Amino acid sequence: MSIESASHSNDRAGNLGVTVTPEDDFAQWYQDIVQKAQLAENGPVRGTMVVRPYAWRIWELMQGFLDEMFKETGHENAYFPLLIPQSYITREADHIEGFAPELWTVTQGGGKDLEEPAVIRPTSETVIGEMMSKWIQTHRDLPLLLNQWANVMRWERRPRLFLRTSEFNWQEGHTAHVDKADAMEETLRMLDVYETFAVRDMAVPVVKGEKTPSERFPGAENTYTIEGMMRDGKALQSGTSHYLGTKFAEAFDITYQSRENQRELCHTTSWGVSTRLIGAVIMAHGDAKGLVLPPRIASHQVVFVPVMAHKAPEVADEADRLAKELKAAGVRAHVDHRDQKPGFKFNDWELKGVPLRIEIGPRDLEAGVVTIAQRLGHDDEQGNPIKDAVPTGELVAHVTDRLVAYHDFLLQRALDFREANTKQVDNWDDFVAQVKTGWASVLYDGTEETEQKIKEATSATPRCIPSDFPAEDGACFVTGAPSAFGKRVIFGRSY
């Protein structure tokens, strides 16, 4: 510990901190973090959300990594209208049936009734389908690989910041292909992209698999998902990819002239992730002290806290110099020059989940060292962070290596938690007990009646049919009927 900071280490930041532990009240704990780490606020219209700068920077980093991956797989960004003619929405029967309860509709413009009401996009398959029908003429125009970064609106009865809001930001990919094989390859490729992003950038291990028929996206023939386990044992659907078959092509006349000079229907896909991922990071990594950010998506990877800088201005100058060196090496470094006591700053940045905090005072400066505290995973037996003195000449190499190791620690911690809370069960009583705190791997008959019975009794739903589960036949744990999918299915409570 920095000598100068010792007397301030136990200062508390007033009511700044989290008021409950995740074990005592997970919902209140989550709300505390969102509010007190200055991530988001409720908007003035019910269900809307104001994303504050600290969280928006996290989203920008997520966007950057994902957008690079989309471009590497051949996709181009475009933008489509927020308002969609109501008639577009009704063209695909399953789509309108699935989204009807969630639609926001505009009926007036300029003080006059519109000739046709417009729907605020809940998703853009319909308007993009209309454009695809104009842009695609022959097989040479395929595949058409599009992505849009946008906001959408869906009515939510029980809004919860980042997890379920009436308006949220996301990306939605939309592609058209010559046949099912090409479209399915795209669908699964983008699911792999999402899995890579979750593991590599969010340090969240996910289970990848297919949704059961009742959980499919409205209008899709197949829906695939990545599911992450949060630290209360619930599942969070963190990204989906859909094979839409030719339903939207039929509805919007998306056809092409084949090499054999025949008019053929395109096979389409869609896929997306949203600002819900910020909620995933909070719930997958956070602890009783607040937010825990994986380094790759942390707004600040390193924060310098100058100590006694009001008496020794050279301390702040050295912090600025070292931060500049780290920035030149690609590290997002920030110097906290606020007029607050060091103890306040320590607790504030701990609450905000900064991976590494660096303290420097006059004696550290004289000794040519800085003191580094890691947000999580480097503690003594009492749970207090161990602080390491690092020579300033070694700081860049030390920090870059340590950020990589910290990511690996968070990923393994989350994976260990998921494995400890996922069990294979084969009877009703064990299932009921298991889904109270985690996930259950079961054989079941695949019927909506069985799913409904399970949901009503336990609030658990089928999360996915995992891609990497081995083939297995047997009897449904509820009805005794033959299992439907040839392998086990993950059930759990979810957000």
The pLDDT of residue 90 is: 87
Q: The domain 26-285: what is its CATH number? A: 3.30.930.10
Residue type, 39: L
- Chain position carrying tokens 């019910």: 46
By CB atoms closer than 10 A (0-12, 13-18, 19+), residue 325 is middle
Write down the pLDDT at residue 2.
Answer: 41
Mean pLDDT of 351-373: 97
User: How many Å is the maximal CA-CA distance in the chain?
Assistant: 82
CATH 3.40.50.800 residue ranges of the chain are 3-17+291-415
At residue 186, the 3 state secondary structure works out as helix
Average pLDDT, the chain: 94
d(CA 444, CA 487): 9
Structure tokens at 358: 């660096």
Integer Cα distance of 325 and 396 in angstroms: 7
Domain with CATH 3.30.110.30 in the chain: 422-492
Residue range 3-17+291-415, CATH number? 3.40.50.800
The percentage of residues in the chain with a pLDDT greater than 70, rounded to a whole number, is 96
Residue 16 banded pLDDT, cuts 50, 70, 90? low
Q: With contact defined as beta carbons under 8 Å apart, do 332 and 302 qualify?
A: yes
Per-residue pLDDT, 91 = 86
Residues 278-334 pLDDT 10s: 999 999 999 999 999 999 999 999 999 999 988 889 999 999 999 999 999 999 999
Output the pLDDT for position 11. Answer: 36
H-type helices in 159-288, by residue range?
180-200, 247-252, 276-285
Q: Which two tokens stand for residue 345?
A: 């700053």
Which residues make Cβ contacts (< 8 Å) with residue 352, sequence separation at least 6?
37, 38, 54, 290, 291, 293, 299
Task: Return d(Cα 444, Cα 465) in angstroms, integer.
Answer: 11
Which CATH code fits 422-492? 3.30.110.30
Segment 66-88 shows an average pLDDT of: 97
Whether 78 shows a pLDDT value over 80: the answer reads yes
The structure's pTM equals 0.94
Comparing 487 with 310, the larger pLDDT belongs to 487
125 alpha carbon, distance to own chain's centre: 22
Give the pLDDT confidence score for residue 9 in this predicted structure.
36
* pLDDT of 407 strictly over 80: yes
Per-residue model confidence as pLDDT tens digits over 433-470: 999 999 999 999 999 999 999 999 999 999 999 999 99
